[in-house]
Chain A
């Protein structure tokens, strides 16, 4: 999977390059609009991460150029969180956006979603270690024992299972489980995860839900 990062800020570009590289993507970096245009014309990419404020050709112009020749997914980064900016980006054909400052976990989650070309299949059954979920019958069991969950706890567990081994940020969890698209500064997600753990993990020796401090939560079998 080849990703083009168009970013003029050196530190940002470097860490995006390293981070995405470690996550298994091959990354090219363009420092300005003209470089980016050149690279896009020369080779094929699976995803473009585009900073809007660029020297030379700005992000919007570049986006228009990209859209003229390919349907490659574009994720744009903006420092302005004015609504007009986001609307403009999406109207010009971008697929998603992130407002700076964003967390790397958040970026990774968006990148994965965009690269998963086909819409995700609704899964009906999950199994991680001895944890099982039957989505249709709304049944969760561990070691064959039935665990009773509230609606939101069920939704949270389903999300964690669906994105198994992916670190999910609090903001992402809040937006998927509660449809809360604002960045809440309360510890709602922490509390919800703690309550879910009390039911799913605490009575058992093997823990499945892990906290990645400062980043979010992940469900995986680490044994």
Chain B
């Protein structure tokens, strides 16, 4: 359950770390203030002791008398922690209370009270002071062994470490519980997401009453599902349309071949069937080519190889190509295009050829077809305009979909199989370009392709 990559585990580890840092710093702070406080109080006590001793000696008591009146410092005697020395100016010990047998410290003379710690196996804190009695300098030294204090602090430190460990552990456990509880909505989200599959792509994640972060996430996922559902339904529609489109030539092939084989026929008849079959095969082949082309342009795995393309020249070439078809309908192809764009030469030519073929297919006889360019600064907009029946506003959004035909009756062998404009659209997208269509009764129909200027 405690997988290291689980969010709950990570969060609880973080909780533990944070509480360790927090408890640790508080503990350190408290420990240090306690140490300082104790040291201060000890120093006060030592200084007080020196002052009292000095007061006694100033009141005329001699050191000799003090030696005999040991009750004055008797409270120190049973206590193994306390030290006291009175030294004369030669370093001779006059009075000594030294239960731990520390060596007599060798200290510089000083008129003010000074404090120090002795080094060595037995540590002690000393306060000393030189003081003159009847012309004789005496050094008073009061001390306290640090053993007890150190012991106490050591025990205190241990308790702090213990508290820290327990605290961290508690924080970890609590954090784990809290995280698991806090991540409950996420688990609900997973359950919901698990229920969505290909058959139920219309299902969405329920966001009512969830925390803001979760509902944001769910909204994001829902939007993604919208797009996926769109794409998916488009794909299934394509597949259905594709199957349907393939069925027409296949039906012809199957039917006419079976019909021909029903009885003996003349060579000419057989020939006719075979020839007709070829036409259907060509249609199938073209459709497959177009679909393959679309599949390839829509998978962005391959990089587009671009160079600069002179639109005027390309349109001129295409106008020559379509000249015959145009003149058949008493139409003129008018080339008003100029400028250079960054594009893949072959793809743009295919796109343009499809647009011109489309204009020829739908333009009214006797009206010209204009191919012009418009300068949009960084981009060039290439327009193919024809007069003729307008495209209804409903259809305007659909003309670039695959297998879409404005007028189902208009399909035929020379038709692009409903893929021509879809190919234009996908070429434009591959170029990061844009393809648009406008159609109204006054101005006719204009398809435009916007490309980056070279």
A contact set with B: CB distance below 8 Å: 81, 101, 103, 150-152, 174, 178-188, 191-192, 194-195, 213-215
Main secondary structure of the interface of A (DSSP, over half): loop
Q: B328: which A residues are within 8 A, CB to CB?
A: 191
Q: Give the shortest distance, in Å, between A195 (CB) and chain B (any CB).
A: 5
Are B353 and A184 in touch, CB under 8 angstroms?
yes
Name the interface residues of B321-337: CB closer than 8 Å to any CB of A: 321-325, 327-328
A195 to B326, CA, bound (A): 12
Question: Which positions 258-314 of chain B face chain A at CB distance < 8 Å?
Answer: 274-279, 281-282, 285-286, 288-290, 292
Q: List 26 A-B contacts (CB under 8 A).
A: A81-B289, A81-B292, A101-B285, A151-B320, A174-B321, A178-B321, A179-B317, A182-B350, A182-B353, A183-B289, A185-B286, A185-B417, A185-B420, A186-B325, A186-B353, A186-B414, A187-B325, A187-B414, A188-B325, A191-B324, A191-B325, A191-B328, A213-B278, A214-B274, A214-B275, A214-B277
Tell me whether chain B's interface is mostly helix, strand or loop, or mixed: helix
CA distance A180 to B277 in the complex (A): 26
With a cutoff of 8 Å between Cβ atoms, the chain B residues found around residue A179 in the complex are: 317
Which of A101, A181, A188, A194 has a CB less than 8 Å from the CB of B322? A188
Q: Does the CB pair A185–B275 fall under 8 Å?
A: no
B416 lies within 8 A of chain A by Cβ = yes
Query: By the criterion of a CB under 8 Å from any partner CB, how many residues of chain B are at the interface?
Result: 34
Q: Does B214 contact A (CB under 8 A)?
A: no
> Does B415 reach chain A (CB closer than 8 Å)?
yes
CB distance from B299 to the nearest CB of A (A): 12
Beyond A181-B346, A185-B415, whether A214 also contacts B320 by CB under 8 A is no
Task: Contacts A191-B328, A213-B275 given; indicate if A185 touches B321 (C-beta within 8 A).
Answer: no
Nearest B-chain residue to A177, judged by Cβ = B321
In the complex, given contacts A183-B286, A186-B360, A214-B276, what are 15 additional A-B residue pairs having Cβ atoms less than 8 angstroms apart?
A: A81-B292, A151-B320, A179-B317, A181-B346, A182-B346, A182-B349, A185-B286, A185-B290, A186-B325, A186-B353, A191-B325, A194-B324, A195-B327, A214-B274, A214-B277
- B76 CB–A CB distance under 8 Å: no
Contact B323 A185 (CB under 8 A): no
Judge whether A178 and B317 touch: CB under 8 Å: yes
B357 contacts the other chain (CB 8 A): yes
CA distance A101 to B280 in the complex (A): 13
Q: Give the distance in Å from the alpha carbon of A184 to the alpha carbon of B414 in the complex.
A: 10
Count of inter-chain pairs, beta carbons less than 8 A: 66
Chain B residues close to A by CB (< 8 Å): 274-279, 281-282, 285-286, 288-290, 292, 317, 320-325, 327-328, 346, 349-350, 353, 357, 360, 414-417, 420
B324 cross-chain contacts in A, Cβ below 8 A: 152, 188, 191-192, 194-195
For the complex, give the distance between the alpha carbons of A141 and B371 in Å: 36
Taking CB atoms, residues of chain B closer than 8 Å to A101 are: 281, 285, 288
Residue of B nearest to A81 (CB): B292
The answer to whether A214 and B278 touch (CB under 8 A), given A81-B292, A183-B289, A187-B414, is yes
Cβ–Cβ < 8 Å partners of A150 in chain B: 323
CB-CB < 8 A to A81: which residues of B? 289, 292
A157 to chain B, nearest CB (A): 14
Chain A contacts of B286 at CB under 8 A?
Answer: 183, 185
Q: How far is the CB of A48 from chain B (nearest CB, A)?
A: 25
Interface centre among B276, B289, B360, by most chain A C-beta atoms within 10 angstroms, is: B289
Q: By the criterion CB–CB under 8 Å, are A185 and B320 in contact?
A: no
Name the distance in Å between A198's Cβ and chain B's nearest Cβ.
11
Assembled-state Cα–Cα distance A217/B279 (Å): 14
With a cutoff of 8 Å between Cβ atoms, the chain B residues found around residue A183 in the complex are 286, 289
Shortest Cβ-Cβ A-B pairs, 7 listed: A214-B278, A213-B275, A191-B324, A214-B275, A178-B321, A192-B324, A186-B357
Chain B neighbourhood of A215, CB < 8 A: 278
Given the interface pairs A181-B346, A185-B415, the reply to whether A152 lies near B320 with Cβ below 8 Å is yes
Chain A residues with CB under 8 Å of B420's CB are 185
Chain B nearest Cβ from A152, distance in angstroms: 6
A99 nearest CB neighbor, chain B only: B289
